[in-house]
Structure 1
Amino acid sequence: LDMIAISIDEMSESLQYNINKNYVAEVKQKQAEINALQSQIKPHFLYNTLEVIRMSALSSKNKEVAQMIYNLASMFRYSTYNNGSLVSIRDEIKHSKMYLSLCATRYKGMLDYSIHVDDKYLDYLVPKFTIQPILENAINHGLRKGFCDNYIKVTIKEIDEEIEISIKDNGNGMSEEAIRKIKDGLEKNIQKPNSIGLMNINNRLKLNFGEQYGIYINSRINEGTTVSIKIPVLGDEVDNV
């Protein structure tokens, strides 16, 4: 009887433990679902607010401001709703064009840009947020204030079953010492305050595709900087995870 009583007690404790475990797991799942639903409300609120502001700008016949608001809203939508780690080059380029358009409006008369990509590459896949952070670096660190001929050129081409994305500017450039430090940081994954974007992208490329892929930089002081990104050719057959 003692053994039966002990077994019943142990069974009861085990049953209670599993009930509590499953209950807590269910509560956490419900909370996660609630949080996910709440997180969707915030972007919708922002989109709707931006749309109201855009329509107000249009009613005031301020088309430039309306376009800026549209670009900003579209960029935010791209950031929050396209959750895949891989996106089409078409989408990445569209996102980058909107960013450059906003910057060109901000630095009116100081900045121009061009993007050259053959239509046959547009459906190829690229890690999300591969191009825009490098454009941001080029503008934040390379733009020559007071000059009217700042230029950024983006080109995409295929070489030996690899995609090479090149972002070239004619800005401030960097000294050999600065370039050496950045290259060393990329090789050793050393985080630097002025190159967090580069480290992030380089890390993701190597984790996704292997050590032979990543970011390569060339620069000359007062002559500009070229950042090249090398990735494998990825088609629609690759899972967008």
Structure 2
Amino acid sequence: MKRRSFGNRILMIFIPFIIIILLFTAFIGYKSYYNSLKKDKEKSMEILIEQISDNFDYYFRDIKTMIVYVSNNSKINEAFKYYQDMNIEERYFLKNEIDENNANVNILKNYISDIILIGNNGYKQNLPNNSSLDQNADLLELDWIKNYDSSKRIYFTMPHYTDYYARYLKDHLVVSAVFPIQEHGQHIGFIQGDLDYDKLNSVLEKVHDQNDIKISMVSETGRIIFDQDISRVNQEIDEMIYTKLLGSTGTFVIDSNREPAMYVYQQSEVTGWYLLAEISYRSMMKGAKEVFNQIVFVILPVSIIFVIAISYMLSLYIKRPLEKLCTKVEHADLEHYQEDSEEYGSLEIDKLGWKFDELLRRMDSMIKQVYLSEIRRQNAEIEVLREQITPHFMYNSLQLIKTEAVIAKNRRISRIVTSFSMLLRYSMDHTVKAVTIKDEINYISDYLNIYQMRYEGKFEYEIKVDDLLLKYQTQKMILQPIVENSIKHGLKDIAQGGDIKIIIYAENSCCYCEVWDNGKGIPEEKLQTLKESLCREESESGHIGVINVHQRMRLAYGDGFGIIDIRNDRDGYTKFILKIGYLTEGEK
């Protein structure tokens, strides 16, 4: 019987088998890539649509908020009811009052084109910093005003031109939100907010410039509101597409006379309009076609040639690598181990060599880890001794300073050192997380005493607390950041006459604390920013300590605890109100 060489056996059996596997793997890989690409494209379109819809809903909600804000001005209702009966002077002053209230409505909101007041009695007025309205234009005859939707509190119009200004801008398109105003069940006028069409449509144009996706916004009745092609605005959408818009979100495919395309849509929660994204299968599968060409014309041929070459080399050099590996195993010396990345000329033998090298590396690493762990343990013991020495040394040093002050009959220095020593001892005890309210009150009293001695006459303080509450527990060092905020920010510009009050009381089985100061107060805008930072639990410049207190209380006791209110009261005090713990037996 004729015996074949090892090399011939590999060439006749191994190579055809590998080629079949390569072809099968290429087919499965391409198919999987095709399906994965399709799903990824669909998912990315859904995410894109959701993001764009959120952007549009932000603008739509904002204009609704602005309209409602404007409607709260009682002077507008007065104008809608009595304007026709007013004399020129009364009309003049009424207009000025309304203008003053609306002057900054659209500041920093360049997408809000205008807000127009339209009364049934003929009264009409827009924002004072905008172009004047055409006094001859009958705004009550506008289609969206004349045929307003009484079923909705605020409704949105289709895009329209602003031909009701004295200086008509022919190409200026807007989308309007209309708020019918009623009093005692009687309709008296409208407030119309105009959104700049170009500003909103630019959101879609950015997407068009970066993708092959076409995005439109369609009304509930099937008319196009926003589109890359401005000529399609206010036109009816394809009936075949419109009938597929069912529910708030969805995906569908239409294979029309044109090339097949996939559509993803989402309905706006604010307007009820549909945001519709379209992408053709040709664009979507462009990447898959490129991958297919690379597999068929590059990867497969190169892989086949490579397999043949490797197989041939393996048959020639399989003996030499094995001998090389055996020699290395025989001469391995762990005590004088040096890592090397020697190659043996064969993938299988290389793996054996790498595994052997990995074994040696692990053994060497374990020896080093044991050595380093012992060093760390010794360092840790030294550090513990050092931590024990340092605080005691500082306390002894402060006690020495106090003794010298008493001998020198300097009671002021003695009081300062005593208070500082108590502060230091309290703050450096890291083993305790929860303390009694009594401990916290003693700490903050020492803290305030030091500040009083530093800024003599700058402020007085008062602490009110029921003795029954002193035994209950709360988190450590929660009052100091709040009081420090009052001194550094509230009383910053006060030379004398400052007043700080700390009030601790019980309510509904919980313990509350209020910190008052009669300083300059917190500006409303900054107060709102601070409250928003507390809600998001994000650090805000200048108030990191305050937000840290809020976060620690919420972590310790859960939602509803921490800083529950900050306000500037009419009595001249800025008040921080904290919910600092439970009044239960387990907390005594």
Q: Same fold (TM over 0.5)?
A: yes
User: Does the residue aligned with 2:519 lie in a helix, a strand or coil?
Assistant: coil
Q: Which residue of 2 aligns with 1:74?
A: 422
Displacement of 1:181 in angstroms is 0.8
Shift in CA distance, 33/219, structure 1 to aligned 2, threshold 3 Å: farther
Q: Which residue of 2 aligns with 1:50?
A: 398
**How many residues in Structure 1 have an aligned counterpart in Structure 2?**
234
Q: Which residue of 2 aligns with 1:156?
A: 504
- Which of 76, 99, 109 is the matching residue for 2:457? 109
| Residue deviations 1:159-209 (CA, integer Å, cap 9, x gap) | 111110111111111111111011011111221221011111111111121
Q: In 1, are the aligned partners of 2:475 and 2:580 still within 8 Å (CA)?
A: no
| Residue deviations 1:116-156 (CA, integer Å, cap 9, x gap) | 11111111111111011111111011115454321111111
So what's the TM-score if we normalise by structure 2? 0.37
Q: Which residue of 2 aligns with 1:227?
A: 576
What is the rounded CA distance, in whole Å, between the counterparts of 1:179 and 1:85 in structure 2?
30
User: Does the residue aligned with 1:231 lie in a helix, a strand or coil?
Assistant: strand
User: Does the residue aligned with 2:577 lie in a helix, a strand or coil?
Assistant: strand
Displacement of 1:25 in angstroms is 3.1
Structure 2's unaligned 5+ residue stretches are 1-325, 335-355
User: Does the residue aligned with 2:512 lie in a helix, a strand or coil?
Assistant: strand
User: Does the residue aligned with 1:212 lie in a helix, a strand or coil?
Assistant: coil
Kindly provide the amino acid, as one letter, of the partner of residue 518 in structure 2. Answer: N
Q: Which residue of 2 aligns with 1:203?
A: 551
Shift in CA distance, 236/64, structure 1 to aligned 2, threshold 3 Å: farther
Shift in CA distance, 32/50, structure 1 to aligned 2, threshold 3 Å: same
Q: In 2, are the aligned partners of 1:125 and 1:236 still within 8 Å (CA)?
A: no
Trace 1:60-209 onto structure 2 (pairs within 5 A).
Answer: 60-143=408-491, 145-209=493-557
Displacement of 1:71 in angstroms is 0.4
User: Does the residue aligned with 2:503 lie in a helix, a strand or coil?
Assistant: strand
Kindly provide the amino acid, as one letter, of the partner of residue 382 in structure 2. Answer: I
So what's the TM-score if we normalise by structure 1? 0.86
What is the rounded CA distance, in whole Å, between the counterparts of 2:540 and 2:426 in structure 1?
27
What is the rounded CA distance, in whole Å, between the counterparts of 1:130 and 1:42 in structure 2?
26
Structure 1's unaligned 5+ residue stretches are none
Q: In 1, are the aligned partners of 2:533 and 2:540 still within 8 Å (CA)?
A: yes
Q: In 1, are the aligned partners of 2:509 and 2:584 still within 8 Å (CA)?
A: no
Q: In 2, are the aligned partners of 1:75 and 1:95 still within 8 Å (CA)?
A: yes
Q: In 2, are the aligned partners of 1:174 and 1:224 still within 8 Å (CA)?
A: no
Q: In 2, are the aligned partners of 1:170 and 1:225 still within 8 Å (CA)?
A: yes
Percent identity between the two aligned chains: 31
What is the rounded CA distance, in whole Å, between the counterparts of 2:483 and 2:399 in structure 1?
26
Shifted more, 74-83 versus 179-188: the winner is: 74-83
User: Does the residue aligned with 2:386 lie in a helix, a strand or coil?
Assistant: helix
Shifted more, 79-88 versus 161-170: the winner is: 79-88
| Residue deviations 1:75-106 (CA, integer Å, cap 9, x gap) | 00111125221111111111000001111111
Kindly provide the amino acid, as one letter, of the partner of residue 138 in structure 1. Answer: S
Q: In 2, are the aligned partners of 1:175 and 1:220 still within 8 Å (CA)?
A: no
- Which of 209, 217, 220 is the matching residue for 2:566? 217
State which structure, 1 or 2, has the greater radius of gyration over its C-alpha atoms. Answer: 2
What is the rounded CA distance, in whole Å, between the counterparts of 2:539 and 2:475 in structure 1?
20
Q: Relative contact order, CA 8 A, sep 6+: which one is greater?
A: 1
